[in-house]
Amino acid sequence: MSHAPAPRTAFLDNGLKILIQEIHIAPLASVWCWYKVGSRDEVPGCTGVSHWVEHMNFKGTTNIPREKVKGIIEEFGGSWNGYTWIDQTTYLETATRDALDRMLFIEAERMANGLYEPGECESERTVIISELEGGENDPDQLLEMEVNAAAFKAHPYGHPTIGWLSDLQRMTRDDLYSYYRRHYIPNNATLVVVGDVDADDVIRRANHHFGAIPPGTVPTRTLSVEPAQLGERRVVVEKEGTTAYLKVAYHAPAATGEGFFPLLLIDSVLTGAKGLNLWSSFRTPPPQRSARLYRALVEGRLASSVSGGLLPTADPYLYTISVTAREGTSLEAVERAALSEIDRVAREGVTSQELDKARNQLRARLVFENDSVTNIAHQLGFFETIASVDLFLSVGDRIQQVTQDQVAEAAARILRPANRTVGWFKPVPIGEGEHLPADAASSGGPVSGR
């Protein structure tokens, strides 16, 4: 990754940033349009607005009827999608290179000419609330939401991207449209084009489609700094179900913060190397045969699965370990075994052999997760929204440069009992559980607008 050529960077007069990576292997092109707006930008009373706005931007524009949005790309045999998470909202199309002009046209329309018809807004309110309420049926998601909310008391990373039910019930079409107009401006966006294209041609085409869109005032992103956690926090969710779950979440550094890359290697030792691509890293199971928590919990017949989650974010977020308990195993036993391994790493660090293996596995994952124009375009835009493209281009070198002492220091500082929030999902027999309100649903993970 560190040896990949830097993408071509250009700016239009209205402030739109363009990143172009020429890759002439197959006649394909991937277009992503990224906005620096996510659930971190929401205030109490309007949680979930970023995700709802994303949904509305698939509902037609001045020059693209609602029913034509899908067909424009699909006639070229391409794919399209979008998602919202805590730091960003993005939209994509990948198709043959001769569809480039159509893809740019779609994204320019999405930026400037969203309709937000009142009937469509109401219809989508029902869809999103149903999506939120459906999260009640996924104990793992429900527990993640509760743990995130308990871990944060000041920073908006603590509320779910899909929002709280009361906010989704009260928001109006005007709330959605004003949020759209405030954040969907060219100087708050990055256009990424990767594939069998000519950079000069991309800039000319982008100027044709986006150049007349006026800039706006970029919203200020001044947020409360999350205070240091002073003691372990615990969450217990009791609800109808058949399986018990454990989550252990530690406050973790931002992508640019001290300790992020050492922690990434610690996670590789504990749960297996995953990579750093939110779009694709978690679709392929990590190598876990030698992972400490896999051996202790899954091979130890205490759990059916274990996973770790650390992703690059603009502000300090969470490193979360998730465990699914085996039937008949108490959460006390699962937690005791999990914390024993985690605390051992905090005290002793990892061995040089473990570090070398984690480095090699992680670097291999980073290669695989950049195996397509779609994935490369995603990474360029994602890192641009949280920090910079330079950080993405340096990831391989940063991983290679992590020392055993740095891992030990990060483990001792981050994996402290006082820095963690422990969550239990305790299933109760069907028919005996107390009904939870519908706003107790959905994880804080990315949600798709498709």
Nearest to 422 by CA among 311, 344, 343: 343
What pLDDT does 435 receive?
A: 47
| More confidently predicted of 388 and 69 | 388
The string over 195-217, giving b where at least 16 C-beta atoms fall within 10 Å of a residue's C-beta and e elsewhere, is bbbebeebbebbbebbeebeebe
The string of pLDDT tens digits covering residues 271-288 is 999 999 999 888 889 999
The string of pLDDT tens digits covering residues 335-372 is 999 999 999 999 999 999 999 999 999 999 999 889 99
Angle, vertex CA 310, rays to CA 375 and CA 20, nearest 5? 25
Residue 448: pLDDT band by 50, 70, 90 thresholds?
A: low
Arithmetic mean of pLDDT, 283-304: 96
The string of pLDDT tens digits covering residues 102-148 is 999 999 999 999 999 999 999 999 999 999 988 767 999 999 999 99
Cβ atoms within 10 Å, residue 433:
13
Contact 337, 297 (CB under 8 A): yes
Arithmetic mean of pLDDT, 382-394: 97
The string of pLDDT tens digits covering residues 55-97 is 999 999 999 998 888 888 988 889 999 999 999 999 999 999 9
The pLDDT of residue 258 is above 80: yes
Q: How far apart are alpha carbons 321 and 425 in whole angstroms?
A: 14
What pLDDT does 3 receive?
A: 46
Nearest to 138 by CA among 273, 243, 46: 243
The pLDDT of residue 17 is above 70: yes
What pLDDT does 436 receive?
A: 42
Contact 55, 248 (CB under 8 A): no
| More confidently predicted of 222 and 323 | 323
What pLDDT does 445 receive?
A: 63
What pLDDT does 71 receive?
A: 85
Delineate the domains of the chain, giving CATH numbers in brackets: 8-210 (3.30.830.10), 242-428 (3.30.830.10)
Residue 221: pLDDT band by 50, 70, 90 thresholds?
A: confident
What pLDDT does 67 receive?
A: 83
Arithmetic mean of pLDDT, 379-388: 98
User: Tokens 């039910």 label which residue?
Assistant: 165
The pLDDT of residue 236 is above 70: yes
Q: How far apart are alpha carbons 82 and 407 in whole angstroms?
A: 35
What pLDDT does 222 receive?
A: 83
The string of pLDDT tens digits covering residues 427-443 is 998 877 654 443 333 33
Share of the chain above pLDDT 70, in %: 95
Arithmetic mean of pLDDT, 37-52: 97
Arithmetic mean of pLDDT, 209-225: 95
Quickly count helices (H) and strands (E) in the chain: 16, 12
